[in-house]
Amino acid sequence: MLDTAANTSIDEAHGTFLTVCAAKAVPIVERVVSTNSVSARWLGGAPADLVARAARYADLLVVGQTKGKQAIRVNTVRDIALLTAGRPILLVPATSSLRIGHRVMIGWNGRTEVVRAIPAALPFLKRADTVSVVTAKTARTGANEGEGLIDYLSWHGIKANLAILEPQGAPIGEALLNKANEISADLLVMGGHGHSRFREFLLGGVTKYVFSHAALPVLIAH
């Protein structure tokens, strides 16, 4: 039964892939034809292993936002890719605007995960109209955490402003998304925090909340 369900999901995904490529006139290729045009290639196999391996040879892994019990398998594949592929992920909610990267907000706490997200975000940051570095003031995070990042970005010609977020009892993920909505951000950059006592990787609470509730695209790295 499980194998049948998995094969059905793969067939449905392949059908969607073919439909979208046809609708957008995107050629399907097996090898590089041109680096100046858009093309696509279908890779089949076990989703978790396939996505994690294929993402290693990509600059960016783009995933949709899924909710509900039916999305457990899809979310597991996404989370494993985030934690094992070594590549950043761009989460794109179905309700988000096509306008991405004009008003960028960085959720910064100085941890390794978000440090890795910054180089991946540089192409967006250099083209953004505004960049906001937001630091949540907690017992673990000081108010001056973002100053070093502001200085780093200035060396790349990026002018950013700093905002201190005081959650006041609200979950950090909720406070970040509320701030993003307040400043009309169209891209959130953050680190994906994980805890891995077991082989089944479990993402931290902030990451899980943002993945489930974000209404804007999120660029995330681990």
For the segment 148-181, what is each residue's pLDDT rounded down to a tens digit? Answer: 999 999 999 999 999 988 877 778 889 899 999 9
Mean pLDDT value of segment 58-75: 76
pLDDT, tens digit, 9 for 90 and up, residues 68-122: 665 677 777 777 777 777 888 898 887 777 789 999 999 998 888 888 899 999 9
Question: How far apart, in Å, are the Cα atoms of 220 and each of 32, 38, 96, 206?
Answer: 27, 24, 16, 12
Dist. CA 215–CA 65, nearest whole Å: 9
CB 216 within 8 A of CB 96: yes
Domains of the chain: 1-42 (no CATH), 103-221 (3.40.50.620)
Determine contact, residues 185/103, Cβ cutoff 8 Å: yes
CA dist 195 → 110, 198, 205 (Å): 17, 8, 10
Q: What is the pLDDT of residue 34?
A: 77
Highest mean pLDDT, choosing among 54-63, 138-147, 181-190? 181-190
Greater pLDDT, 208 or 138: 208
Residue 200, pLDDT above cutoff 50? no
Residue-wise pLDDT for 166-175, tens only, equals 877 778 889 8
Mean pLDDT of 129-143: 80
Name 172's Cβ contacts closer than 8 Å, sequence gap at least 6.
136, 138, 205, 206, 209
Q: Which of 35-44, 77-86, 102-111, 132-141 has the highest mean pLDDT?
A: 102-111
Write down the pLDDT at residue 21: 95
Tokens 């969607």 belong to residue: 16
* Residue 187 confidence (pLDDT): 96
CA of 33: how far to CAs of 21, 55, 57, in Å? 16, 20, 17
Mean pLDDT of the chain: 82
Q: Is 184's pLDDT higher than 90?
A: yes
Q: Looking at the predicted structure, is the pLDDT value of residue 196 above 70?
A: no
pLDDT score for 6:
58
Residue 7 pLDDT: 64
pLDDT number for residue 204: 62
